[in-house]
């Protein structure tokens, strides 16, 4: 257990763990899971109805495990996982639309799952999620990176291959777009 905790705490790089997994070491994937689950979960929770968050998070890791063999390391594993998460979220909404279910679940779906949440807060949450989902991808991304993943603006700039001024400008435009969505 101490070994696992040490490994989760960055003793081995993601690249080393991925190579170990490719060589057949399943434990390496468990360490990657523990290292990245929180960020994947937070991202999914920010944009998916509460009742579906755990299932979609699981789908992300299943997909990661299946396609890790073809991961070539052109980008960081965390960035790759973020893209995979966005694909799974998009797939979730595509399936919902196909089933002709309401894109945003009724409020009752989340009740009993969110401790300490009032119904008004739940309602507001659904409203905000809907507004976020209607933003262009880069606007939604900058908001999620700052609020859900708690990255600093300089870290977001690095992730988005931009300078910090451009990132802050993108953030302001994203908030303007969100406010306009909420006002509609």
Q: Pick from 36, 82, 88, 125: which binds other proteins (CB under 8 A)? A: 125
Tokens found for residue 86? 């966005």
Indicate the DSSP class of residue 149: S
Which of these, 21, 111, 35, lies nearest to 69 by C-alpha position?
21
Buried (b) or exposed (e) across 63-83, using 16+ Cβ within 10 A? bbeeebeebeeeeebeebbbe
> Could you tell me which stretch among 13-21, 28-36, 84-92, 98-106 binds other proteins (CB under 8 A)?
28-36
Question: In 32-136, at which residue ranges do the beta strands (DSSP E only) sit?
Answer: none
The yes or no reply on residue 33 touching other proteins (CB under 8 A) is yes
Nearer residue to other proteins within complex by CB, 14 or 149: 149
The yes or no reply on residue 45 touching other proteins (CB under 8 A) is yes
Tokens found for residue 180? 């306009």
The yes or no reply on residue 30 touching other proteins (CB under 8 A) is yes
Which of these, 147, 133, 139, 135, lies nearest to 167 by C-alpha position?
139
The yes or no reply on residue 128 touching other proteins (CB under 8 A) is yes
What residues between 53 and 82 interact with other proteins by CB under 8 A? 54, 57-58, 61-62, 65
* Interacting residues with other proteins (CB under 8 A): 30, 33-34, 37-38, 41-42, 45-46, 54, 57-58, 61-62, 65, 121, 124-125, 128-129, 143, 146-150, 152-153, 165, 168-169, 171-172, 175-176, 178-179, 182
């Amino acid at each position: 257990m101490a070994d696992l905790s040490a490994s989760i705490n960055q003793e081995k790089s993601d690249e080393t763990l991925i190579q170990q997994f490719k060589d057949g070491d399943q434990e390496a994937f468990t360490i990657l899971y523990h290292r990245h689950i929180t960020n994947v979960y937070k991202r999914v929770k920010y944009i998916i109805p509460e009742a579906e968050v755990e299932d979609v998070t699981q789908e992300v890791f299943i997909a990661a495990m299946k396609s890790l063999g073809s991961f070539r390391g052109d980008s960081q594993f965390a960035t790759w996982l973020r893209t995979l998460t966005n694909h799974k979220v998009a797939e979730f909404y595509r399936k919902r639309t196909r089933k002709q279910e309401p894109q945003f679940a009724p409020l009752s779906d989340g009740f009993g799952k969110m401790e300490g949440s009032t119904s008004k807060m739940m309602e507001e949450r659904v409203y905000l999620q809907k507004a976020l989902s209607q933003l262009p991808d880069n606007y939604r991304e900058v908001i999620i990176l700052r609020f859900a993943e708690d990255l600093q603006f300089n870290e977001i700039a690095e992730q988005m291959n931009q300078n910090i001024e451009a990132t802050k400008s993108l953030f302001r435009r994203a908030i303007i777009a969100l406010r306009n969505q909420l006002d509609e």
